[in-house]
A and B are shown apart, each in its own frame.
Chain A
Amino acid sequence: MSFDQPVGTVNDVARSAPVLEVEDLRTYLYTRWGTTKAVDGVSFTVGSGETLGIVGESGSGKSMLALSLVRLTPEPAGKIVGGRVILNGRNLLDLTDKQMRAVRGKEISMILQDPQQSLNPVFSIGDQLAEAIRVHERDLDDRATHERSIDALKSVHVPAPERRLKNFPHQMSGGMKQRIVGAMAMAYHPQVLVADEPTTALDVTIQAQYLRLLKDLQRRTGVAIIVITHDFGVIAETCDRVAVMYAGRFVEEGPVEEIFDQPRHPYTRALLDSRPKVDVRSTRLQSIEGQPPSLIDLPTGCRFAPRCFYSIDRCVAEYPPWFEITHAHTAGCWRSEEVPWASR
């Protein structure tokens, strides 16, 4: 149960042994109005002990991407139509439903956005936690389950765990509930933890605390974390690498400092610019003009081109390939080498 050994530096782990490899993942939603390409060819890897951030606006497909990794896209509209998700040497997309259930919670876990909604209101914390602890070990007796429940709550620093087990969700604060969701997700020390906006629903004062908890769990277990967020603050605080998602695809990916200091895609730049700044007094927040494209009728060229100040004819005509900026930093923009937006 001890995972205190150091996990090596982030980059060489990521390079040498990715725990999760996603290749050309495509998840479409078949709706009455047409086919929405929510995830349209996304590839990335995460190494153990590494944290990858995926950042994007609402509707960029980032939550659908997260759900695709655990194969829980909304039925019956959502379908994973292509790609591979390789975890522990096998493609999760090839597994039967039953095999996939054995993977969930054990090899890959997920933390949902709103702790007020994600715990069942009519069952006690102890009951719901015990489920997560016993699900992959059916023969665990009640006493062992109880002990492990207490340990799990201690591992996420829940005070008075004995008493908490008897509580119901409505008797706890949001931050406490999210810790318990974290304890459930980490019950089997999975290799990959997907956190979909883990702090968005929490009080600002609790957010940093919760992010520290996640990092702490990572240090102890070496879990690879994928943080889905729209908040660059969360990225800065937790992530080693970040991928920027727009209209179902990644447009830029690289180490966090590089992306913050030298964004090579105008969309990344625009996102960074629209963060509220503490040191600058302004009456209006900066925003990106226009709307993200409808995921039903996507342009053939760059999907950001219609909103981009720097688009040229080629951007509209042809979808840009990946340009390698440094060995870990890539951007999908025709003009990523000349960077016309850097001097703005």
Chain B
Amino acid sequence: MRSEKGRLVARYIMINAVRGLLTIFAVSVLVFSLARLTGDPIDVLAPVDISREDEAALRERWGLNGSVTEQYVAFVSNASQGDFGPSFKYPSESAVSVIAERLPASISLGLVATFLTLVIGVPLGILSAVKRGTWLDRIAKGLALFGQSVPEFWLAIMLIWFVAVRWNVVPTSGISGWQSYILPSIVISVFGIAALLRLFRSAMLETLGSEYVKLARLKGLSEFKVVWKHALKPASIAPLTFFGGIAVRMLTGATVVEIVFAWPGVGYLAYEAANARDFPVVQALALFTATVIIVMNLLIDITYAYVDPRVRLGQKAIA
């Protein structure tokens, strides 16, 4: 049984790796052309009184000479070897090293936020379903509504104003110790908490009302086993998809939140690079994000196959 599943998984990975490469190719075309629609980086980055010779040299160095097609071919052949060219904004560094420098700040913040999301969202959703109709359920539902409807930037500004400025409990922005993580991680996790809470609540309500949960009770099993084994496992299948989204955000940075908190992560970098028409960084970031999304989706699909025995990879699940 195991080995059969293992073979299926391997086959599935192969097929989807090819599909993923095609997707990344499409993304590269899109990103490459969209970046160029924003205008000429020379206008932004070079001095206004640059000489013709210097401009030509700069174009040569940045790979901006020749037709767009030629530029794209050069870009792809370099990128496939991990070389996205030098950053336009920080000419002494490569685009990849600029991103690598910023990545730890995003990932560490993302880890804290993901931790908060899971630790608060999942149990609250489960309890809200188990204690349906009680005050706890009502509070949880209120929180879910708030979390899904409040704009991130507004919440961030409010928190900065009250917690950081007026009460002066935590720093307003940047990274200076663990206290800096508190506000941004709260803002990032609020939406995820609300979403997971709702997903788990409705999934649990469904499984708690199912015949197999009734049968579990009929066997004489404890309420703990009934809820946390028989109701929870089938209920956790549907929200799995959402974990993918959370993980992607963790790795690729939450742009709005990073901007408001001046967080030196890749989300903020994406904003800066786009503003500066730093094509290599924008392109590298977009492809990085696309890759993360594709890999995460693949991982989620494989997880499905192991959590839900009805799922055969590559075929539709029979619900």
- B residues less than 8 Å from A118 (CB atoms): 211-212, 214-215
User: Is B219 in contact with A132, judged by CB distance below 8 angstroms?
Assistant: yes
Instruction: Name the CB-closest residue of A to B230.
Output: A120
Q: Which B204-249 residues have C-beta < 8 A from chain A?
A: 210-212, 214-223, 225, 230, 233-234, 237
Indicate with 1 or 0, residue by residue over B305-319, a CB within 8 angstroms of chain A CB atoms. Answer: 001111000000010
Known: A112-B214, A117-B212, A168-B309. A122 touches B234 (CB 8 A): yes
Partner pick for A120 among B1, B217, B234, B237, CB 8 A cutoff: B234
Q: Which of A101, A103, A184 has the most CB of B within 10 A?
A: A101
User: Is B220 in contact with A121, judged by CB distance below 8 angstroms?
Assistant: no
Indicate with 1 or 0, residue by residue over A153-191, a CB within 8 angstroms of chain B CB atoms. Answer: 000000000000010101000000000010011000000
Q: Which B1-20 residues have C-beta < 8 A from chain A?
A: 1
Instruction: Name the CB-closest residue of A to B133.
Output: A76
A9 vs chain B, min Cβ distance (A): 31
A119 vs B307: C-alpha distance in the bound complex, in angstroms?
Answer: 16
User: Is B237 in contact with A102, judged by CB distance below 8 angstroms?
Assistant: no
Residue A49 CB within 8 A of the other chain: no
A114 vs B309: C-alpha distance in the bound complex, in angstroms?
Answer: 20
A179 vs chain B, min Cβ distance (A): 14
Q: Which A254-274 residues have C-beta < 8 A from chain B?
A: none
User: Is B216 in contact with A105, judged by CB distance below 8 angstroms?
Assistant: no
- B residues less than 8 Å from A121 (CB atoms): 212, 234, 308-310
For chain A, which range describes its interface: under 10, 10 to 19, 20 to 34, or 35 or more residues?
20 to 34
User: Is B217 in contact with A104, judged by CB distance below 8 angstroms?
Assistant: yes
B278 vs chain A, min Cβ distance (A): 48
A97 vs B220: C-alpha distance in the bound complex, in angstroms?
Answer: 10
User: Is B215 in contact with A119, judged by CB distance below 8 angstroms?
Assistant: yes
Indicate with 1 or 0, residue by residue over A95-110, a CB within 8 angstroms of chain B CB atoms. Answer: 0010001111110011
A131 vs B212: C-alpha distance in the bound complex, in angstroms?
Answer: 13
B179 vs chain A, min Cβ distance (A): 42
Q: Which of A104, A121, A123 has the most CB of B within 10 A?
A: A121
Instruction: Name the CB-closest residue of A to B132.
Output: A76
User: Is A123 in contact with B233, judged by CB distance below 8 angstroms?
Assistant: yes
User: Is A122 in contact with B216, judged by CB distance below 8 angstroms?
Assistant: no
15 A-B interface contacts by CB (under 8 A):
A72-B218, A101-B220, A102-B220, A103-B220, A105-B218, A112-B214, A120-B230, A120-B234, A121-B310, A122-B308, A123-B230, A131-B219, A135-B220, A166-B1, A184-B219
B residues with a Cβ closer than 8 A to A are 1, 133, 210-212, 214-223, 225, 230, 233-234, 237, 307-310, 318
The 8 closest A-B pairs by CB, nearest first: A105-B220, A117-B211, A104-B220, A120-B212, A168-B309, A118-B211, A105-B219, A118-B215
A residues with a Cβ closer than 8 A to B are 70, 72, 76, 97, 101-106, 109-110, 112-114, 117-124, 131-132, 135-136, 166, 168, 170, 181, 184-185
